[in-house]
Amino acid sequence: MKKHFKNIATGLSILVLFFFALSYYSHLVYNAALDGKNSGFIAHHLTNFANYPQLIEDVLNSNELTGIPPSYVKVDSSFREINKLTYNLYALNSFWNKNKDEWDIKLFNLRNDSILYKWRLAKKGLDFKTTPYHFANAVPRNCILFPDKSIIISTDEAPNIMRLDSLSKLVWSNHELIYHHSLNLDADSNIWACTSDLMIDNKFVVKAIRNINGTIYRYKENYITKVDRKTGKIIFHKGVSQLLIDNHYENFVYGFSDPDRNAQDPIHLNDIQPILKDSHYWKKGDLLLSIRHRSLIVLYRPSTNKIVRLVFGKFINQHDAEVISDSTISIFNNNFIHFESDSVDTYYNKLNDTLRSLEITTYNFKDSSFSNVLNPYIVKENIWTETQGVHRILKNKDIFIESQNQGKIFILNNSGVILRKMLFSPLKGYAYQPNWIRIYETLPY
């Protein structure tokens, strides 16, 4: 009997120790997830270990493991195409060629899907040593076509920008920075690119500032970079957080920060739109900068390092600002709130509002007013994209919209939907992702 009770006591002791260890580990993970302070130097390893089950599940369900290219999206089973286009409209987009392990950049007519021209981008000569991205998911976005049928290409989130001739042969390349998001030409046909620093020893390079209490806030810098179209050399380079600080807008860099989280991305520059001619509100050579993580558009003058105007208000986590008149800009308003799960219990008794779709928002510099364009049709079509996305208001006032996450493109006007389209891939049930399609109403050649 004694032996029996001893075995029970031993078992209970082991169980208590197990639950104590589990509770203590949970306590450490909880604090590590909150700020890392109470878990000391092991905070990073604890959170990584706690995420292993999710990591394993993600890997097992990943497209890569199942042979589906990362730039493919599932086709919505309820999706039905519409094409009522009566005019030619040309699109430049990149497509992953699964059979050849390379990118095809195609110029095609949205009216009839005819392919006018194609370029090939192979991996040879490209640099992927200083980025976590690999060739198949470093998507060539927002490519630019020149009159001689050469094109400018950058591989997204990787240190590669290049010019290929009409035969897809390399004219020049630049590997000095990480290139991401949009590319646009200024009045001299030089290239403005969103950039960030190369990684060092597989670590992101960040800026840092010491707080009054000694805590250090680390944050990622984004740059506006001007590249010579003829040589690929960098001819202007400026940090976005630095130009905000230079103009006494430190609040947009530090004012929303959480210094206990490493490598914050307070800026997230996603578009640079050069001003091509003077107006009462801007000068040729000015830049519209889209700063997503501050829901902010900046009109910046590089020649004087001055911010001419800040635009914020009726848009959230936007992409792609465009000049549509001498006093008005349009903004691709993702209208999507990014947040992490609450770390404490909360209560609410009603919803204040519901965000239903993305919006194409215009801002008038004359009276600082906002308005939305064709919003009822956008809501009806359920057009939204959590990240990415571009638009173009055409000369006839039709609006091209790329809903990148959905894998869909649309053209709308006051009559409704003119084009509803997906770029179907050879893999059944999947479509190519639109990759910041560049629209041409007339071809440059």
3-state secondary structure the chain: CHHHHHHHHHHHHHHHHHHHHHHHHHHHHHHHHHCCHHHHHHHHHHHHHHCHHHHHHHHHCCCCCCCCCCCEEECCCCCCCEECCCCCCEEEEEEEECCCCEEEEEEEECCCCCEEEEEEECCCCCCCCCCCCCCCCCCECCCEECCCCCEEEEECCECCEEEECCCCCEEEEECCCEEEEEEEECCCCCEEEEEECCCECCECCCEEEECCCCCEEEECCCEEEEECCCCCCEEEEEEHHHHHHHCCCCHHHHCCCCCCCCCECCCCEEEEEECCCCCCCCCCCCEEEEEHHHCEEEEEECCCCEEEEEECCCCCCCEEEEECCCCEEEEEECCCCCCCCCCCCCCCCCCCCCCCCCEEEEEECCCCEEEECCHHHHHHCCCCCCCCCEEEECCCCCEEEEECCCCEEEEEECCEEEEEEEEECCCCCEEECCCCCEEECCCCC
Contact 194, 180 (CB under 8 A): yes
Say what the pLDDT of residue 307 is. Answer: 99
Predicted model pTM = 0.86
- Structure confidence at residue 348 (pLDDT): 78
Question: Which residue, chain included where needed, has tokens 């450490």?
Answer: 28
- Predicted pLDDT at 347: 76
pLDDT of residue 20: 66
Output the tens digit of pLDDT for each of the chain's 445 residues: 555 556 666 767 787 777 667 666 666 655 655 554 455 555 555 556 566 566 566 655 666 666 899 999 999 999 999 999 999 999 999 999 999 999 999 999 999 999 999 999 999 999 999 999 999 999 999 999 999 999 999 999 999 999 999 999 999 999 999 999 999 999 999 999 999 999 999 899 999 999 899 988 889 999 999 999 999 999 999 999 999 999 999 999 988 655 544 458 889 999 999 999 999 999 999 999 999 999 999 999 999 999 999 999 999 999 999 999 999 999 999 999 877 655 567 777 778 778 889 999 999 999 999 999 999 999 999 999 999 999 999 999 999 999 999 999 999 999 999 999 999 999 999 999 999 999 999 999 9
C-alpha–C-alpha distance, residues 310 and 249, integer Å: 10
- For residue 117, report the phi and psi dihedrals to the nearest 5 degrees: -160, 155
Please answer whether residues 287 and 275 qualify as being in contact, where contact means their C-beta atoms are separated by less than 8 angstroms: yes
How confident is the model at residue 351, as a pLDDT?
A: 80
pLDDT at residue 107, as a whole number? 99
pLDDT value at residue 255: 85
Contact between 14 and 22 (Cβ < 8 Å): no
Pairwise CA distance, residues 48 & 70, whole Å: 24
| Residue 110 to residue 114: CA distance in whole angstroms | 8
Q: Is 50 exposed, middle or buried (0-12, 13-18, 19+ CB in 10 A)?
A: middle
Task: Give me the residues paired with residue 289 across strands.
Answer: 272, 298
Into which CATH architecture does domain 73-339+351-440 fall? 7 Propeller (2.130)
Query: What pLDDT shows up at residue 262?
Result: 42
Residue 115 makes CB contacts below 8 A (sequence gap 6+) with 106, 107, 108
Per-residue tokens: 429: 């049930």
CB-CB neighbours of 236 under 10 Å:
13
> 70-105 as b/e, with b when 16 or more CB fall inside 10 Å?
bbbbebeeeeeeeeebeeebbbbbbbbebeeebbbb
Alpha carbon 443 to its chain centroid, in Å, reads 27
